[in-house]
Amino acid sequence: MKIRVGMGFDVHELEAGRNFYLGGMPLPDAPKGAVGHSDADVLIHAICDALLGAANLRDIGFHFSNTDNRWKNMDSTFFLKEVTRLVHEKGWRIGNVDCTICLEKPKVNPHIPAMKKILAPLMDITEDDVSIKATTNEKLGYVGREEGVCAYAVALIQKE
């Protein structure tokens, strides 16, 4: 069996008065929302980059440019479905993803089970194959000042 790993990272500015999407779902208790061309779902964007990197398929910006109006306000679950299709087309299957979200508010942990229910089927894997962790930045930097949110993801893909 052949395996590969990929790493993804994404960051978005936070702004009051915007909806906040994370892991394919809105977080209604968020005081600010992420700014971006699409729905600015930082977690899904990091996962997409990890999967694309593992499969040597460039990055999310190459496939879904933020200058292309087709992707304006797009639900990022669409991107993850398409990335999964691209990975499968190259003969790879997703083994697992491990993610970390860096955000001061709101608390992410109560939402993790619902995010896993959304993300796992988009990647044709089980919820047990999706690890999502959350941390604050201990009030340091742009995350600590609640100016932005970032996410990291690592993905393992495999083929016979």
The token pair at 46 is 């990091």
Strands (E), 38-113: 93-102
Mean pLDDT for the stretch of residues 51-69: 96
Q: For residue 3, how far is the Cα from the chain centroid? A: 21
CA distance 119 to 90: 21
Ligand-binding annotation for 137, yes or no, is yes
Q: Is 77 annotated as a binding residue?
A: no
For the segment 113-140, the average pLDDT, to the nearest whole number, is 97
- Is 111 a known ligand-binding residue? no
| 59 annotated ligand-binding residue | yes
Domain ranges of the chain: 2-159
Q: What is the pLDDT of residue 29?
A: 87
84 annotated binding-site participant: no
Query: Quick check: pTM over 0.85?
Result: yes
76 in a labelled binding site:
no
Q: What is the mean pLDDT of residues 14-33?
A: 95
Contact indicator for 84, 123 with CB cutoff of 8 Å:
yes
Instruction: Name the superfamily (CATH) of residues 2-159.
Output: 2-C-methyl-D-erythritol 2,4-cyclodiphosphate synthase (3.30.1330.50)
Q: Burial, 44: exposed, middle or buried (Cβ in 10 Å; 0-12, 13-18, 19+)?
A: buried
Annotated binding residue 60 = yes
Is 125 marked as a binding-site residue? no
Angular region, 112: left φ>0, alpha ψ -120 to 50, beta rest: alpha
Secondary structure letter of residue 56 according to DSSP: T
Q: Confirm if 157 and 87 have CB atoms less than 8 A apart.
A: yes
The verdict on whether residue 100 carries a ligand-binding annotation is no
Could you tell me if 22 and 150 are in contact, meaning their C-beta atoms sit under 8 angstroms apart? no
**Residue 49 annotated in ligand binding:** no
Residue with tokens 């894997």: 125
Would you say 68 is a known binding-site residue?
Answer: yes
Residue, of 73 and 103, whose pLDDT is higher: 103
Provide the pLDDT for residue 56: 98
Mean pLDDT score, 2-16: 98
How does the average pLDDT of the chain come out, rounded?
97
pLDDT of 160 > 90? The answer is no
Residue 138 annotated as lining a ligand binding site: yes
136 annotated among ligand-binding-site residues: yes
Confidence (pLDDT) at 19:
95
